[in-house]
Amino acid sequence: MPEIGAVLREGKGKKIYATDNPDEAIVFFKDEAMSFHGLKRGRILGKGEVNNQVCETLFNLLAEHGIESHFIRRIDARHSLIKRCEMFPFSVKIRNVVAGQLSLRTGLPIGMKLEQPVVEYIMRDTDMDLDPVINHTHIYAMKAATPEDMKQIDETALRVNAILKEYLGSINIELIDFKLQFGRFHGKIIVADEITPDTSRFWDSSTHEPLDKDRFRRDMDNVAEAYQEVLHRMIGVG
C-alpha cells in the first residue's frame, strides 16, 4: 500500500489522502452517513467496504467500454488508489425515473419513467441550504467549464448512463438516477469521485424497493442489508 500522507479532502462518505506521488491519492470509504445537509447523521455498518468494491466493479466496467476514470486499483477493503484530479465545481445528475427533488420541483409522479434522461448540473461545496441546480449558462458565467468541456461531459455522462442501465438491469436493479463528477487529469477530462448506493438511486426491478441511501434518509429498515445486496448481485455472492 502506498504511504498515506496528509488529508486533502473529507466529505460525507470519504477521506482523500495525499501520497508520495503527486499524480495519485488514496480514498478511504467511511461508514458514516449524512443527509439533509448534515441535519441527519448516522452510521451504516459495512457501507465503506461495500462502496469501495462497488466503485471497483463499476469503474472497471466503464474502462471495458473505453471510458477513463480516476480509479487505479482497490488496495484493501476500504482504500483505493486514484488519480489526483482537478475537479469541476459541479456534479452531473442523470435521471431516468422521477424521484426525489425532481418530483418536488416539477410535480411529476414518483416512479414515472422518463422518455429520455434528464441531465442536471448541481453546484458542489456551497453553504446554501439547498444544492443549487444550474445550467450551462451559469457554468459559463462562472468560467467553471467551456462549451467544449460541457459537450464532452454531457456525451460521457449519457454514455455512462447507458452502460450502467444495461449492466444493472442484467442483475435486476433499475437505475433511477445517479450523480457523476468529472475532473481533469493532465488536461484530460475523466470521470471521478464515486458511483455507489450513496450517490445513486438503485431500485429492485421487481419490487421497486430502494437499495440505496434513500433507506437511511427515509428511516427504513435493513439499510446495511440493502447496500450488501447491491454488491452481492454485482459479484455473484449470496
Range of the domain at 94: 86-222
Q: pTM of the prediction?
A: 0.94
CA dihedral 175, 178, 183, 188 (to 10 degrees): 30
122: β partners: 91, 133
183 and 91 in a single domain? The answer is yes
Would you say residue 1 lies in a domain?
A: no
Measured from the Cβ of residue 109, the count of other Cβ atoms closer than 10 Å reads 8
Query: What are the cell numbers at 7?
Result: 488529508
**What is the rounded average pLDDT for all residues in the chain?**
93
By mean pLDDT, which of 23-27, 66-70, 130-134 is the weakest? 130-134
User: Confidence class of residue 42 from pLDDT cuts 50, 70 and 90?
Assistant: confident
CB neighbour list of residue 211: distance below 8 Å, 6 or more residues apart: 173, 197, 202, 203, 204, 226, 227, 229, 230
Domain tally for the chain?
2
71 and 185 in a single domain? The answer is no
47: β partners: none
Would you say residue 46 lies in a domain?
A: yes
167 and 120 in a single domain? The answer is yes
Tens-digit pLDDT profile for residues 127-152: 665 679 999 999 999 999 999 999 99
Task: State the CATH number of the domain containing residue 70.
Answer: 3.30.200.20
98 and 76 in a single domain? The answer is no
Task: State the CATH number of the domain containing residue 90.
Answer: 3.30.470.20
Q: Tell me the CA distances in angstroms from 2 to 6, 32, 82, 116, one per residue in order.
A: 13, 24, 11, 43
